[in-house]
Structure 1
């Protein structure tokens, strides 16, 4: 990133969960730069996620689709964009199982369009990816950035495909690209289809917490502030063509997450309800973050702290999530969980 003059970042998906928090993070720490948000405002992209920022003099917004090359090119030209930071993605594994083609269009075609615009206009490009591209990681292994990608869901496959395009544009066109592969991220403004806000809002409503299978799937739950700080660090210090894993280096089980959420919200532990697992559910994600650490990376929060901090946001911000839970989200919830059979972990009967 240039530091001697103003940076103008096109943040795609800037009204989504991590994207909106990155906009807050960057504007709060780089007051001389401008942020241009591009968002299609699908169900999880919400203008409410940028509440308090809409009057900021260095923020502008464009309602557009990342797969619309003409619109993206026009916006980048009119706004004098210097770098693209691509958060735009369909990102929920369960949704990808139900509607996989939507993931290919946004995550693969959308990334390709952004790369082509970046190439022809000479822009820096950063791809926000996921550790799910590695697939299931047996203990005690940790995946490094050079390991083979083995995605096991349509979502993970679409993100892996997008990464291959990013690397191809580096190798073929020498485009200045970087990639971060982030662990599971939690925090404010996370759409309640994801596990933590689903569990937090269910607990606050007195509804059961539908926990897939035995709940012993291992995840590195990272707070969104740490994720944003890592992306910013890579934008400043990352080497062109390089990939950086992002995570705390620690894992916790989904069952531990559920218990932490309930403890934080002073809710009944009996609300945990084991349900039939989803197809192809990865048991463990774990990444080696040494490469990011060499840039000076240190996360502020452990997974336990990240989960508790994120869960505590939801009782204080009912204005944000109650309309979502009362709206179209109900149909997804009924389809996904209300018909899912209860499941008893082996040995629990005794």
Structure 2
């Protein structure tokens, strides 16, 4: 230029489709506190209809009426419903979740400790499920219509028809009783070191993974078959794209979009704890804790546990939305491309 001044470069902007995807993700993130507020109201209402008096449940059948009234007053349970909700909700935000009437410890420490156990179990089950389900689905799709494909389909349908606790009982009898290579009670190995913890989580994790395998594998199979029948796939083949490049670029990114949606749901369910599996194997997770809290009417534990489970599910779905944009930026959360 004549004056020797170099103009400053214009700031780069994200493509419009990326901006729309980011806007959708931000909207989902903003919706989480609003959804949790609604969940908190529903949880509070449900807790109020639990049979029995909280003070009587905490103090036992031999406490006097005055002692029960004093306990309820000390825990903010004797006021108007709106006052009780406000006290409980703001205490929840401040980490003051009360004390468990069953375990006699702070609910905050109890729930988060059990949550950590459920998260470890859930991640282990997820690590088993993802490669197994995607591998089976891709293998079936590549052998579509063959005897092996039909055999896998029958086996997966049979597995889907068997209740999760039945699968767990079969695994328990096989690998803990007939061939005692794994512990019967998972609680014995929790917190005892890496290897004992791993052995304690193996049977519950396999049970969780097998319970979700059928749907995920069949979804992957359908997605891969649909992608290989599309116009862009045939165009890539005509252009000479073959092998791994063809699968990664023109099949996997499109075929795995519905699979990712299911993975988000399963991840939230796994991390939040499985009441059936944890109770069956005696695994001290959040799901098993909520079962005990329901049976013993431990309302503070029940309320906090349900809130934590709901939050984990919402965060897992948000992670699935983010994964959508990474796999295929064209995906719109309205279902359009």
Name the structure with the higher strand share.
Answer: 1
- TM more than 0.5: no
**Taking structure 2 as the reference length, what is the TM-score of the superposition?**
0.25
| Higher relative contact order (CA closer than 8 Å, sequence separation 6+) | 2
- Structure with greater Cα Rg: 2
